[in-house]
Amino acid sequence: MSEAEAGLRTGDDGVARCWWCGDDPLYRAYHDHEWGRPTTDERYLYEKLCLEGFQAGLSWITVLRKRQAFREAFENFEAEAVARFTMRRVEHLLKNPAIIRHRGKIESVINNARRTIQTAEDFGSLAAFLWRFEPHPNDRPRRIDRETFRTLTRTEASVALSRAMKQRGFTFVGPTTLYAYMQSIGLVNDHVTGCVIGRQVEGVRAGFLRPN
């Protein structure tokens, strides 16, 4: 299997990575230091949920380049602060050219802040709720190449998580959006086989303490 078929790309630093991050420094840093690494950080989990919602229908690099502007617009994604946003604040955000000005997505961020707070109260943390949906290893592909990666857009686990989150009142949480979310927060490790960072991530996962 060629490097391209495997979904690998060796960068100018000699490191074999998932092909999709290319040579863009911002994208590569995201791939190397964030994507797929398991976390229980509540602020981060809420931020990534919001950003995945904004990404729907767009490329992730578009959202990534606007990330700092999003943080400034949404109080660094502190759920308690965002939950207090009013419709007047929504109208103000719709005039902000630095973010994605989509009323439904902006209102979803506010709604999901409130749902995040309630979920944390009910389960102890948002992380404890989310990690209940980590797939069993037997339900995962034994090898991930470029073609396999492209088929991983939604799974039984993401469908179940989507259903549960919709029941709790979350919005912009369809199965495809949530599978991308699961990939990003480390509920699954979808780095392609042979990616150097993917091996690092698997080591982190091995020592990661899942929340109760």
One of 20, 30, 75, 107 is an active-site residue; which one?
A: 30
For residues 169-193, b (16+ Cβ closer than 10 Å) or e, as one string? Answer: ebbbbbbebbbbbbbbbbbbbbbbb
| Cα angle 14, 17, 19; round to 5 | 120
Is 30 an active-site residue?
yes
Beta-carbon contacts of residue 80 (< 8 Å; ≥ 6 apart): 113, 117
Q: Report helix angle 156-167 to 175-185, nearest 10.
A: 110
Contact 187, 133 (CB under 8 A): yes
Is 60 an active-site residue?
yes
Q: What is the DSSP letter of 135?
A: P
One of 35, 46, 60, 131 is an active-site residue; which one?
A: 60
One of 35, 52, 131, 179 is an active-site residue; which one?
A: 52
Contact 40, 125 (CB under 8 A): yes
Is 91 an active-site residue?
no
Contact 170, 112 (CB under 8 A): yes
User: Cα separation of 162 and 164, whole Å?
Assistant: 5
Contact 176, 156 (CB under 8 A): no
User: Cα separation of 195 and 104, whole Å?
Assistant: 37
Which residues participate in catalysis according to the annotation? 30, 52, 60
